[in-house]
Amino acid sequence: MLTQIDKLLKEVNGFSPDSKEELEAFRLKYLGKKGVLGGLFSDLKGATPQDKKSAGLAINNLKNAVQEKINSHKNTFDKVIKKSNIDTSKPVGLNSFGSRHPISLIKNQIVGVFKKIGFGVSEGPEIEDDWHNFSALNLPKEHPARDMQDTFFIQANPDLLLRTHTSSVQVRHMESVRPPIRTISPGRVYRNEAVSARAHCLFHQIEGLYIDEHVSFADLKQTIMYFAKEMFGEETKIRLRPSFFPFTEPSAEVDIYWGSKNESDYRITKGTGWLEILGCGMVDPNVLENCNIDSKKHSGFAFGMGIERIAMLKYGVTDLRLFFENDVRFLKQFSSL
């Protein structure tokens, strides 16, 4: 036993920890409930009276050496912590809070408005094929309306492209779900446009679709009116102007009355007081037939809006590029929303 204790004493004297964790492991090894010293004291019970005296003294010397080693290095680590001015017991101060991106805030708000009246949410791929992005939406290969959207095509496969609108999601939804259909489709879309204060090659849309029996333009108008009042206030006025979209007939642009109380209002409304917020119309029967929906039995309406445009109106942002630059000074302004 004395030989074993002598070996352990040399090990203790030669021990030099590099961290507080290593020192704690050393302490548990020797002084823990199931540690080395506990085992030695247990073995001592079976020794002869003559051996007990010398072995007991050696064990006590080993215990003192262990304790001295722990105390000396514990003080060393405490001094390092004190020197670095780190108080490990002090609560962490959360002085900087993150925030949702303004695009996410507006998207969630729009989704919430339409969920109240029974619209679900559908999503689809951002890399689309020609059928779902164009042809199924009444835009065959040679249709001149394709020129309205400058498209990013995938070079390796000319049939694939970055979707130019989330109407492609509506096509996929109509192919897989039978009427009645009531869904909105939020997501990123891409168009080959020059980046400026009012345009970008990447932006976000929310498009809505409602298909059932006996759906009328009056239903569409009431839905848009409900959305405008929920989004911009109960006193909001809207107007519908005739327009053209290949996948809806009749089609309309929707304006809200923004007013012209100051120079900024006058500028963004071009002096009219009216501001365009979305496009809409009754789903063209050809689109329904392309998605295997009986156009003689069912009718429906669709609408679409740019999330950035709504965000610019709600938050008074004048430059579209701010939404994509990740400037912390800009994003912090939305931390309380």
**How many domains, in total, are found in the chain?**
2
**Secondary structure (DSSP) of 48-77:** -HHHHHHHHHHHHHHHHHHHHHHHHHHHHH
pTM: 0.68
- Whether residue 277 sits in one domain with residue 129: yes
Range of the domain at 77: 2-83
- Whether residue 171 sits in one domain with residue 134: yes
Is 88 inside any structural domain? no
- Whether residue 163 sits in one domain with residue 22: no
- Whether residue 173 sits in one domain with residue 133: yes
| CATH for 253 | 3.30.930.10
- Whether residue 151 sits in one domain with residue 289: yes
Nearest to 281 by CA among 248, 314, 304, 234: 248
Residue 283 has pLDDT above 90, yes or no: yes
- Whether residue 125 sits in one domain with residue 37: no
- Whether residue 194 sits in one domain with residue 131: yes
> Lowest-pLDDT range, 15-29, 125-139, 151-165?
15-29
176 and 77 in contact (C-beta within 8 Å)? no
Peptide bond into 250 cis (omega under 30): yes
As a whole number, mean pLDDT of residues 221-246 equals 93
Residue 265 has pLDDT above 80, yes or no: no
Residue 319 confidence (pLDDT): 85
Give the pLDDT confidence of 184-224 residue by residue, as tens digits.
999 999 988 888 877 888 899 999 999 999 999 999 999 99
